[in-house]
Structure 1
């Protein structure tokens, strides 16, 4: 494996509680009758890639909402909350980035957060430097592909690595399925339960020790890579067997 793709910002830093607060403040300031409690938000977070679209049984109200304006307001509120928040770095994540640096593995980040929020979180985590990412793609970036599957391919291309040589770290069910569909070599479900079908398809569950999981996958080949290696080896053997014998002439 040559690269690790973090499928959301929450794979590095858990923003769920302060983002929930930011959404609720944005709803209130916009005069919307929505409120997400901790349980509702957690359930939504498991289903979605990152929570960024409000849901409500009041479809008439939902149609009248300017989503871009609502998200911009949420980002302003969240930015201020991040500035006032004291982040405690996860030693497991810091250790993971140390390992990736030593192994010179490329690191990418896909986020549905705006670049404002991504940069503010990275600035708040001194153990994760700006140079720790080969490529970052955020919501609203110019030229960003519309479908998330294409975002994976675009990010891998930017890092100059094949998708089947990447490990994706996902924190939601939708993220897991999208990474699989995109053709990522190994998909790791970080602190999110997986189904029997996902486990059978090769999705690896990592409850807490993400570094140990990545170490076990670092030198692991995918099925397609094994087949490609076998085909290449067989071709070399055939060519070697059929090549004309070279004779060394002596004077």
Structure 2
């Protein structure tokens, strides 16, 4: 492994429930009586794209909404939640980052969410951007995940073969993007994607550091 690529906000902090809360708050702000419960949201997470989920809901109800505006409100509310300290690093992720840096492994935070979301989660977790050799966002690609474009871009910018990259993803769309780019991928489901089918991809245990660096874990 020459590059370790953390593929979504959810690989740093399990924010899935915060995001659902932000969606529901945004719906109220826009005068919609929608309320996504946890079971519905779990099913929605089988596909990538928050704005697409809003458009799908509107189509199902036969109404027209400004999905982009609603999603922008949701993102602003989510960022405010992060600014309020409502996020913690997932178990072992900081250990994995530190070990990768110590080993000289290149590090990437390879998302296709907004740069504002990226900046907010890094600030909430006290992670300086310079921790990573590359950080991507929706600004960097034409097509978000599950398209593999962002992973091709990351390998190119890091000057590393895609075959030498290991990706960690918490959702099916992200896993698909990594595999389609020809990269090894480890699924690390969040609390709302734990029952999703990752197609036989290796699934990380509770602690990411122990999964990626088992010899270090055994030595503790």
TM-score, structure 2 as length reference: 0.83
Q: Deviations over 1:6-58 (max 9, x none)?
A: 2211011111111111111111111223211122223322x134644323263
For each residue in 1:91-121, what CA deviation from the matched residue of structure 2 results, as whole angstroms up to 9, or x when unmatched?
A: 5111111111101211112324211111011
Kindly indicate whether residue 147 of structure 2 is the aligned counterpart of residue 145 of structure 1.
Answer: no
In structure 2, the residue matched to 1:187 is 185
Q: What secondary structure does 1:204 align onto?
A: coil
> Are 1:108 and 1:136, in contact at CA under 8 Å, matched by a contact in 2?
yes
Query: Contact (CA 8 Å) 2:11, 2:90: kept in 1 or not?
Result: no
Matched, 1:177 2:176: yes
- Which protein has the larger Cα radius of gyration, Structure 1 or Structure 2? 1
Cα-to-partner distance string for 1:63-116 (whole Å, 9 max, x where unaligned): x22222222111111121211234333451111111111012111123242111
Within 5 A, what are the aligned runs for 1:85-124?
85-124=85-124
- Please, which runs of 5 or more residues in structure 2 have no aligned partner? 215-220
Q: Structure 1 pair 195/48, CA: closer, same or farther in 2 (3 Å)?
A: closer
Q: Give 5+ residue unaligned stretches, structure 1.
A: 217-251
Check conservation: 2:2, 2:164, Cα contact below 8 A: yes
Distance 2:128 2:203 in 1: 27
How many Å separate the matches in 1 of 2:67 and 2:197?
A: 32
Question: Which structure exhibits the higher relative contact order, with contacts defined as CA atoms closer than 8 Å and separated by 6 or more residues?
Answer: 2
Give the number of equivalent residue pairs: 205
TM-score norm. by structure 1 comes to: 0.74
* Structure 1 vs Structure 2 CA RMSD: 2.2
Deviation at 1:195, TM superposition (A): 5.1
Distance 1:51 1:83 in 2: 20
Question: What's the secondary structure of 1:58's corresponding residue?
Answer: helix
Tell whether the 8 Å contact from 1:48 to 1:175 is kept in structure 2 after alignment.
Answer: no
Match of 1:60 among 45, 62, 65: 62
Number of the residue aligned with 1:208: 206
